[in-house]
Every structure is written in C-alpha cells, then in structure tokens.
C-alpha cells in the first residue's frame, strides 16, 4: 500500500477531516490531498512524524510506506556502511 493510501485509510477510520488534519500538520489541505491521492511525494520527515503521532501509525511503518528510512536509522546505516567498508579494506589489504 502506498503512503497516501495508508494515511487516508487511517484518517478516514478515525473520522478526521482532511482539512482538520492538514491544519494540525501545518500544511495546506490541497497539498495533503495530493499526498493522499499519491499525486505528490510523501512529505518531509517532520510532517511524517507529526502524521504518525496524530493518526496513531507506527513511525517506522509510516517511513517505510514513504519509501525511506527513519532519521535515526539513516545515521545507523551510515555507520554500518562505513564499518563494512573498513572491514572490507582490511580483508583485501
């Protein structure tokens, strides 16, 4: 399921109006409508985090639906890649 489908389904399930949610997120209703219809890319990390809290969707799940890693995991992934490259260079000498 795409990001927009997930947030729209949950918003509808909670009986939250699109305009109300957009206002709570601090964005325009038109933009949020495009996001929900998958006509625009998922919003910034900050908006994804707010939407997660308001809609009660697991933050990691929502970032996965947005097709990106949560910010804390991005930092960890960078460290893992760096460690892997160092280990690989030691092994290949």
pTM, full prediction? 0.81
Structural domain count of the chain: 1
Tokens 């949610």 correspond to what residue? 21
- Structural domain including 52 reads 3-92
Please report the pLDDT score of residue 89 as a whole number: 87
The C-alpha atoms of residue 52 and residue 57 are separated, in whole angstroms, by 5
The C-alpha atoms of residue 80 and residue 89 are separated, in whole angstroms, by 14
3-51: pLDDT as tens digits: 999 999 999 999 999 999 999 999 999 999 999 999 999 999 999 999 9
Name, in order, each residue with C-beta under 8 angstroms of 58's C-beta and a sequence gap of 6 or more: 52
Contact 22, 31 (CB under 8 A): yes
44-88: pLDDT as tens digits: 999 999 999 999 999 999 999 999 998 888 888 888 888 888 888
Please report the pLDDT score of residue 82 as a whole number: 87
Contact 67, 28 (CB under 8 A): no
Please report the pLDDT score of residue 93 as a whole number: 66
CATH number of 30's domain: 1.10.260.40
């Amino acid at each position: 399921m795409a990001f927009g489908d997930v947030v729209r389904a949950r918003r509808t399930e909670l009986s939250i109006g699109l305009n109300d949610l957009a206002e709570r997120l601090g964005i325009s209703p038109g933009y949020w409508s495009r996001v929900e219809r998958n006509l625009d890319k998922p919003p910034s990390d900050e908006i994804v985090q707010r939407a997660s809290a308001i809609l009660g969707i697991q933050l990691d799940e929502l970032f996965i639906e947005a097709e990106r890693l949560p910010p804390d995991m991005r930092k960890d992934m960078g460290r893992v890649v760096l460690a892997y490259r160092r280990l690989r260079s030691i092994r290949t000498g």
